[in-house]
Amino acid sequence: MAFYDGLIDALGLRGSCGDDGGGNLSMADLLAATGDDEAGKEFFPFPSLDNLNEACSNIAQSRDVTKGIENAFLGVKDSLKLVLDPITQPLSWLLDGSLWLFQAVPWFIMIPVLLYITWWVARSVGVTIFVALSLLGLAFIDHYDVTMQTLSIIFVCTGISILLGVPIGIAMSKNDRLQKSVIPILDLLQTLPSFVYLIPLIFLFSVTESKLYGIAIILYAIVPVIRLTDLGIRLVDKDVIEAADAFGMNSRQKLWGVQLPLALPNIMAGVNQTIMMSLAMVVIASLVSAPGLGVNVLRGIRNLELGVGIVAGIGIVLLAVILDRTSKAALDRVDMARKHN
Amino acid sequence: MSDPKVRIRDMYKIFGPRDKDVLAHVKNGMGKEELLVQHKHVLGLQDINVDMQEGEITVIMGLSGSGKSTAIRHLNRLIEPTAGEIYVDGEDVMKLSESGLRSLRQEKMSMVFQKFALLPHRTVAQNAAMSLAIRGRDEDEQKSEALRWLDRVGLTGYDGHYPSQLSGGMQQRVGIARALTANTDIMLMDEAFSALDPLIRTDMQDLLLELQTELNKTIIFITHDLDEALKLADHLVILKDGAVVQQGEPQHILLNPNDPYIEDFVSDINRARVLKARSIMQPITAKKFAGDVRANDNLESMIAVSGGETSLTYRVLNAAGEPVGQIDMRDLVRALVPRVSSTAA
């Protein structure tokens, strides 16, 4: 006899419970059926779904909950896919196109171009030399191709994160209600374990499509740029905004002439974080066929190839330092322009 | 007297979510404290009626929390009043659309701020030309106008600097140049000199008076400093707890304070330096005079002229040199004693 029989009877629900034993057998039932009956029972079990189900078979079991979520997701999957597929298709093209471009350009053009970009954004001799040494070093141990793949994915995903994130941040800074409703979503995106992003995406899109990892990376990396754009605009000196109003600026002039330039150091800090987070995610995304250094790390784990994994890991660290130093140098440059001292 | 340039009628400001609802209580005489305790609303301004004449400096004075900064922000609607009307050139500012309000701010009223509020990422010249840039004027005009006014406020050669490279006094000169470049009839100055140290402040006051004799703008100036108010004001408005306690010609207020609050206020003033001969002169009755003084001479200079002798009588001449009154030195000495509070007497 189940523990909660008495409770069900007392509440007068026996009639609605239907025939006893009609429900699905739980694992515990099967175990109990094989062993002796009362030995495994607790004295006062928690009134969980499974325990209640023993007393009344019309009460759902816990596995019905997970089943329900799965069914619900599969139920909306097709219609969701119908909407999301065409919207996100350009992402696949971008990622594939960029991958092709990064690999099609020969190294003796690509490396100088990258160095020139570094110089252009950072204006720092030290950083440029460091980037040069790192890239040449990686190429020397035949990691040039995977490095370029990773870099290409980061370029595309960070670019899209900035394109989407900055306007969202601006909208949040203008509207308190929007800010209140978006912040929990950002918290969720930031705390959700990065592996969990992949689960629904795998069901929605085929693993062979590059947008699968693209979306995962963007969702993970877009958070800081949104947060810091919002914060940066809110932190702009109220007196300066008042002066802009007092001289009759319209909201577009205020945004482009005052708010964005003064928020730029904060936005750049957000971009720096976004780059770092997309690098972190691009490694995990190798689980769903994202090419690059992450694949080698994965190989190191799967095949216990210690050396391969560690070299790829060091490559990722180097890339991280390159991207961080370059974007930080750019940030400093923006800040310096502000101080003029 | 012609129509006032700016006119404020029955203006009220209550801070809080239900300001319109509690307005009735305030109109029925509920005080600031009561309103805060019973309705959790803060009374900012009550029953403000001020006329500001064209070409005059109207000074609104009060201690912090008296609502003076709130009041000036109503004129260009940086703050929306709870009730009341504001007329600029006879046009009701409260009825303006958003774009109408913007063009009012661009073309009729410029503003100078206590904390300068310059754009830190723009050069001094770009800051000075801000109002023209907003109106979409071409670069050459922006540049030449900005340089002209920077020159006028004594910042020749600083146009390429950034605000953070300038001292406070110089930054505020940029602020004034920015307001002048806008070429508006009305200038709002919100404690424009309060953040500056005393010597610089005197310099800036002189600069403002000098510009004013030349430009004849309608200036609304906010300050908490009575000396500054008396130096600049053509028309003085004294605010306390969001209400006007007294307004009028500053000399008149000084000689006839109508409230113990103002008596306290004016008792610390160096009256000999602030009061002018015209304020205390009497109709001419004497035949013989010890000498002539100008109507705008202050009493200090008269004491110096008389050598401290109190038995003399001086003739007062106006700017054109015509006799307009006389001053008995005994009256002068009496005028130097602040009136004792009526409650204390």
Looking at CA atoms only, how far is residue B313 from chain A in angstroms?
52
Q: Which candidate from A240, A253, A261 shows the least CB-CB separation from B134?
A: A253
Which residues are within 8 A (CB) of A219 and not within 5 positions of it... i.e. 6 or more apart?
Answer: A189, A197
Helices (H), chain A: 5-10, 27-34, 49-55, 62-104, 107-122, 125-140, 144-174, 176-191, 194-204, 211-234, 238-246, 251-254, 260-284, 293-302, 306-339
Can you tell me the distance from the alpha carbon of B169 to that of A92, in angstroms, rounded to the nearest whole number? 58
Q: Please, how many CA atoms are within 13 Å of residue A188, restricted to the half-sphere of its CB?
A: 8
Can you tell me the distance from the alpha carbon of B217 to that of B149, in angstroms, rounded to the nearest whole number? 15
Percent of chain A residues topping a pLDDT of 70? 91
Taking Cα atoms as reference points, which of B211, B207, B191 lies closest to residue B199?
A: B207
Predicted pLDDT at B344: 45
Can you tell me the distance from the alpha carbon of B69 to that of A182, in angstroms, rounded to the nearest whole number? 35
Dihedral of CA atoms A15, A18, A23, A28 in degrees, nearest 10, equals 30
Looking at CA atoms only, how far is residue B99 from chain A in angstroms?
9
Query: Is A253 within 8 Å of B110 when comparing Cβ atoms?
Result: no
Can you tell me the distance from the alpha carbon of A122 to that of A324, in angstroms, rounded to the nearest whole number? 11
The string of DSSP codes covering B84-137 is EEEEETTEEGGG--HHHHHHHHHHTEEEE-TT----TTS-HHHHHTHHHHHTT-
Can you tell me the distance from the alpha carbon of B323 to that of B183, in angstroms, rounded to the nearest whole number? 39
Domains by residue range for chain A, with CATH? 2-60 (no CATH), 76-340 (1.10.3720.10)
Taking Cα atoms as reference points, which of B137, B150, B72, B143 lies closest to residue B111?
A: B72
Q: Give the strand order in the sheet containing B57-61.
A: B109-112, B186-190, B218-223, B57-61, B235-240, B243-248
Can you tell me the distance from the alpha carbon of B245 to that of B259, in angstroms, rounded to the nearest whole number? 7
Reduce the DSSP state of residue B144 to 3 states and report it: helix
Does A98 have pLDDT greater than 80? yes
Query: Is A248 within 8 Å of B111 when comparing Cβ atoms?
Result: no
Q: Give the max Cα distance, chain A.
A: 86
Reduce the DSSP state of residue A51 to 3 states and report it: helix
Query: Is A243 within 8 Å of B113 when comparing Cβ atoms?
Result: yes
**How many interchain CB pairs under 8 A, A with B?**
64
List C-alpha distances in Å: A331 to A218, A262, A324, B165, B328. Answer: 22, 13, 10, 21, 73
Is A288 or A339 the better-scoring residue by pLDDT? A288
Cβ–Cβ contact B76 with A under 8 A: yes
Does A40 have pLDDT greater than 60? no
Q: Which candidate from A243, A248, A262 shows the least CB-CB separation from B103?
A: A248
Query: Is B121 within 8 Å of A237 when comparing Cβ atoms?
Result: no
Predicted pLDDT at B118: 94
pLDDT by 10s per residue, chain B, length 345 = 568 899 999 999 999 888 888 888 888 888 888 888 888 898 889 999 999 999 999 999 988 888 899 999 999 999 999 999 999 998 899 999 999 999 999 999 999 999 999 999 999 999 999 999 999 999 999 999 999 999 999 999 999 999 999 999 999 999 999 999 999 999 999 999 998 888 889 999 999 999 999 999 999 999 998 889 988 999 999 998 889 999 999 988 888 888 888 888 888 888 888 888 888 888 888 888 888 888 888 888 888 888 878 888 888 888 888 888 888 888 888 888 876 655 444
- A273-328 confidence digits (pLDDT tens): 999 999 999 889 998 889 999 999 999 999 999 999 999 999 999 999 999 999 88
Confidence of residue A8 (pLDDT cuts 50, 70, 90): confident
Q: Which candidate from B106, B117, B165 shows the least CB-CB separation from A340?
A: B165
Query: Is A240 within 8 Å of B188 when comparing Cβ atoms?
Result: no
Does A27 have pLDDT greater than 70? no
Interface test with B, best of A238, A245, A247 (most B CBs within 10 A): A247
Looking at CA atoms only, how far is residue A252 from chain B in angstroms?
11
Identify whether the C-beta of residue A231 lies closer than 8 Å to the C-beta of residue A266: yes
List C-alpha distances in Å: A160 to A80, A150, A183, A206, A272. Answer: 22, 16, 20, 21, 14
Give the residue from chain A lying closest to B78, CA to CA. Answer: A246
The string of DSSP codes covering B303-329 is HHHHTT-SS-EEEEE-TTS-EEEEEEH
Strand B91-92, strand B291-294: pairing: unpaired
Confidence of residue A31 (pLDDT cuts 50, 70, 90): low
Looking at CA atoms only, how far is residue B76 from chain A in angstroms?
7
Q: Could you give the ipTM of this predicted complex? A: 0.85
Cβ–Cβ contact B181 with A under 8 A: no
Confidence of residue A341 (pLDDT cuts 50, 70, 90): very low
What's the alpha-carbon Rg for chain A, to the nearest Å? 28
Query: Is B134 within 8 Å of A247 when comparing Cβ atoms?
Result: yes
Q: What is the mean pLDDT of chain A?
A: 87
- A137-190 confidence digits (pLDDT tens): 999 999 999 999 999 999 999 999 999 999 999 999 999 999 999 999 999 998
Interface test with A, best of B72, B77, B113, B134 (most A CBs within 10 A): B134
Identify whether the C-beta of residue B70 lies closer than 8 Å to the C-beta of residue B8: no
Burial category of B177 from C-beta neighbours within 10 Å (exposed 0-12, middle 13-18, buried 19 and up): buried
Can you tell me the distance from the alpha carbon of A50 to that of B95, in angstroms, rounded to the nearest whole number? 68
Burial category of B305 from C-beta neighbours within 10 Å (exposed 0-12, middle 13-18, buried 19 and up): middle
Query: Is B134 within 8 Å of A246 when comparing Cβ atoms?
Result: no
Q: Which candidate from B104, B119, B133 shows the least CB-CB separation from A240?
A: B119
Predicted pLDDT at B315: 87
CB atoms within 10 A of CB B191: 20
Cβ–Cβ contact A260 with B under 8 A: no
Phi, psi of B6 (to 5 degrees): -125, 135
Confidence of residue A103 (pLDDT cuts 50, 70, 90): very high
